[in-house]
Amino acid sequence: MLRRYAVVLCVFALCLAAEVGARRPLLPQKSGVSKSSFGSVPDAGDVDMFTLTNANGVEIRAITYGAIITSIRVPDRSGRFADVVLGFDNLEGYLKGHPYFGTVVGRYGNRIGGGHFTLNGQAFKLAQNNGPNHLHGGVKGFDKYVWKAEPLQNGLGVAFSRTSPDGEEGYPGNLAAHVTYTLTDKNELVVDYHATTDKATPVNLTQHSYFNLSGDPSTTILGHELRIDADRYTPVDATLIPTGELVPVQGTPFDFRKPTTIGARIEQPHEQLKFGRGYDHNWVLNRKGSQPAFAARVLEPKTGRTVEVATTEPGVQFYTGNFLDGTIKGKGGQVYNQRAGLCLETQHFPDSPNKPNFPSTVLQPGKEYTTRTVFTFGVAR
């Protein structure tokens, strides 16, 4: 009898240990920033990884190649931590080419129609690297450079910087760009952008992480619930360039003013959804003022994980991973199929340099480009 009780207790202890091991305690943790090697880029030098950990055990990893966020580990409602962004386990994956997983994109995030614009009476020609259009800074945008980086001296974060020389990818002016990632004990990822230039130039920097809050990218994001604080969006042509109109979302599949499952209307026979194979559009945010204001919130119902986005930007590009096609193997050899992740790219509007009625993206010499976006991770009980 005693032997039987001993066996039962042993099994119970093993199960308890397994359960505890599946969780990372939601007790105060040792916060800090650590630095490690993440390989090297031929002719460009070493790539470093910075790991940010807050008092709650939330962990964010970012590398100097492309200022890429490679991992965000947050808990679910049971306290189980998982990585909620797509990416790769090593540098080789990022060097092979990918759809901007976790990168900072620039000098101009999103599309510029026809790969050209005119500024102060001068015509500028850019790479047409997305059909007839220019996308995310061109053939070698900010996502394909090794940035300088230093941990913050007065906070839990890391500051990335690089100078884009005059003429890079066709853009005018020497642009000094800075991007800072800060992790707070409120589970906020604060992304600050800053830039200056010596010639007038368009600037539109954004963060391009693909989220799957389930922590399991073998499942799609169609079951995630989304709310976007926007009464209007910018419809596009067949090449995904805005027409210049600001159209009400009411009565369309683009109405996310109330929490709505992403998959609820994505297959509706709407011309705009056909153009992008799903959602790949800019929403005109209702926000006012100069401080970060609520833009969007995503909930994954099964795990309870949430991410809320606040920004100083006038728009957000909601993209549902429509062009993922199963040809990319990511972390742990996981195949990334269509709609394995979603993006919420805070931004000025696409093709603004060619749309005088859109908010201007032109940075003038002597002026400063400053924007902030805050991603707050939480749990719905």
Residue 242: C-alpha distances to residues 43, 76, 98, 137 (Å): 38, 37, 24, 17
List the catalytic residue out of 134, 208, 224, 281.
Answer: 208
Single out the residue of 271, 283, 278 nearest to residue 246, CA to CA.
Answer: 283
Q: 342: how many CB neighbours lie within 10 A of its CB? A: 25
For residue 96, count CB atoms less than 10 angstroms from its CB and return exposed for 0-12, middle for 13-18, buried for 19 or more. exposed
- Give the Cα separation of 46 and 221 in Å (integer): 35
Does the annotation count 345 as an active-site position?
yes
Q: What is the dihedral of CA 64, 50, 177, 105, to 10 degrees?
A: 60
Q: Are 179 and 134 in contact (CB under 8 A)?
A: no
283 phi and psi angles, rounded to 5 deg: -95, 140
Per the residue annotation, which of 168, 188, 345, 348 is the catalytic one? Answer: 345
**Across the strands, what pairs with 41?**
45
Taking CA atoms, 223 is separated from 22, 196, 220, 265, in Å, by: 24, 41, 7, 12
Tell me how crowded residue 268 is: count the other CB atoms within 10 A of its CB: 11
Query: Which residues participate in catalysis according to the annotation?
Result: 208, 345
